[in-house]
């Protein structure tokens, strides 16, 4: 996507946002279903809402993280760390001259310039999530509540692993998506569901006019209200990757250049194949960690 296709505007609550960071649809078909339930960090009571926000009922999402899950996640964390370090070292020689140029140019914004790096927040955060699912999606997936729950819980695994951020689902809602393209459908979700007290509102759609794999508002600061994103139904595996990518945009992350070789979920070349961020993006998430939740 070219920079000219990304515009700056305001959301329904007056927050400045960038609109147009559209994730391409996946080129390779991933796993269509979840072979096991996603890990859930804590038992949560979830409200079921109709299209007007009226409560229709409740459901309970039970904690699901036995010792096997914990051991598996620890092993995964170590493996991801090793993989990231391996690729980082392989890229260091290519970036070496750029680093020296940076110091020679007198940039004093980093630790080598005599200034103190910003303090990053520590400790875990729990952020609240409203899942909104459109009519096409609900018609295609009778298990839409459980399916989208698993997507969000799988998308938050890396946030928990690398940043101590737990996405806790508090409500699932029926949504009637409107719009002629992905950007308009994103704005429709914003108008319908923002300002209801959730940290994140994530939409899931099968609308034929939604012309991307996912889209989100990118914020330059902590927004007043909810962070908004929408993901196309591309099956289990591809959709949770897209959701993680879009949640990352909500934290203010941009993209890595395609063709750069940077292995990061924010690089379109790797958005559907890795679940980690490069160091620069890790740093931004840490700096913006307190934008949402508590």
Reported pTM: 0.84
User: Could you give the 3-state DSSP secondary structure of residue 128?
Assistant: strand
Q: Check if the beta carbon of residue 268 is closer than 8 Å to that of residue 202.
A: no
Residue 270 has a pLDDT of 98
Give the per-residue pLDDT at 84: 60
Q: What is the pLDDT of residue 119?
A: 46
Please name which of 223, 292, 282, 218 lies closest in space to residue 252, comparing C-alpha atoms.
218
How many whole angstroms separate alpha carbon 128 and alpha carbon 138?
22
In sequence order, the 6+-apart residues with CB closer than 8 A to the CB of 68 are: none
Beta bridge partners, 215, equal 230
**CA 71 vs CA 79, 95, 153, 168, 234: distances in Å:** 12, 35, 18, 22, 29
Q: What is the pLDDT of residue 94?
A: 36
Sheet holding 165-175, edge to edge: 55-61, 44-49, 165-175, 125-134, 200-205, 227-232, 214-216
pLDDT at residue 65, rounded to an integer: 82
Interatomic CA distance for residues 48 and 113, integer angstroms? 53
pLDDT at 102: 25
| Burial of 80 from C-beta contacts in 10 A (0-12 / 13-18 / 19+) | middle
Helix, strand counts (H, E) of the chain? 7, 9
Structure-token pair, residue 8: 């700056």
Mean pLDDT, each 10-residue run in order, the chain (294 residues):
72 97 96 95 96 97 71 55 54 33 32 40 87 99 98 98 98 99 98 98 99 98 98 99 99 97 98 98 98 98
Helix intervals (H) in the chain: 67-104, 135-140, 144-155, 157-163, 182-193, 235-250, 279-287
**Fold of the domain built from segment(s) 3-25+41-63+122-288:** Collagenase (Catalytic Domain) (3.40.390)
Rg (CA), the chain: 19
**Dihedral angle over CA of 168, 255, 219, 289, nearest 10:** 50
pLDDT at 110: 36
């Amino acid at each position: 996507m070219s920079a000219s296709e990304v515009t700056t505007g305001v959301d329904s609550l007056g927050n400045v946002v960038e609109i147009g960071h559209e994730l391409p649809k996946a080129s390779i078909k991933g796993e269509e279903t979840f072979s096991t339930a996603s890990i859930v960090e804590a038992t949560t009571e979830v409200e079921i809402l109709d299209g007007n926000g009226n409560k229709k009922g409740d459901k309970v999402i039970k904690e699901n993280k036995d010792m096997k899950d914990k051991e598996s996640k620890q092993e995964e964390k170590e493996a991801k760390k090793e993989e990231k370090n391996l690729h980082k070292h392989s890229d260091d020689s290519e970036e070496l001259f750029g680093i020296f140029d940076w110091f020679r140019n007198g940039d004093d914004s980093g630790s080598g310039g005599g200034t103190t790096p910003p303090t990053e927040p520590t400790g875990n955060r729990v952020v609240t999530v409203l899942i909104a699912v459109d009519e096409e999606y609900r018609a295609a997936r009778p298990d839409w509540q459980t399916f989208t729950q698993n997507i969000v819980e799988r998308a938050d695994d890396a946030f928990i692993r690398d940043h101590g951020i737990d996405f806790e689902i508090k409500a699932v809602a029926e949504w009637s998506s409107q719009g002629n393209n992905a950007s308009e459908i994103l704005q429709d979700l914003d108008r319908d569901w923002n300002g209801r007290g959730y940290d994140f509102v994530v939409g899931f759609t099968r609308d034929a006019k939604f012309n991307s794999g996912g889209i989100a508002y990118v914020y330059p600061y902590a927004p007043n209200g909810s962070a908004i994103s929408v993901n196309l139904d591309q099956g289990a595996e591809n959709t949770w990757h897209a959701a993680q990518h879009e949640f990352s945009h909500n934290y203010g992350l941009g993209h890595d250049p395609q063709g750069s070789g940077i292995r990061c979920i924010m690089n379109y070349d790797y958005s559907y194949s890795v679940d980690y961020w490069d160091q620069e993006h890790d740093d931004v998430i840490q700096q913006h960690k307190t934008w949402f939740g508590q």
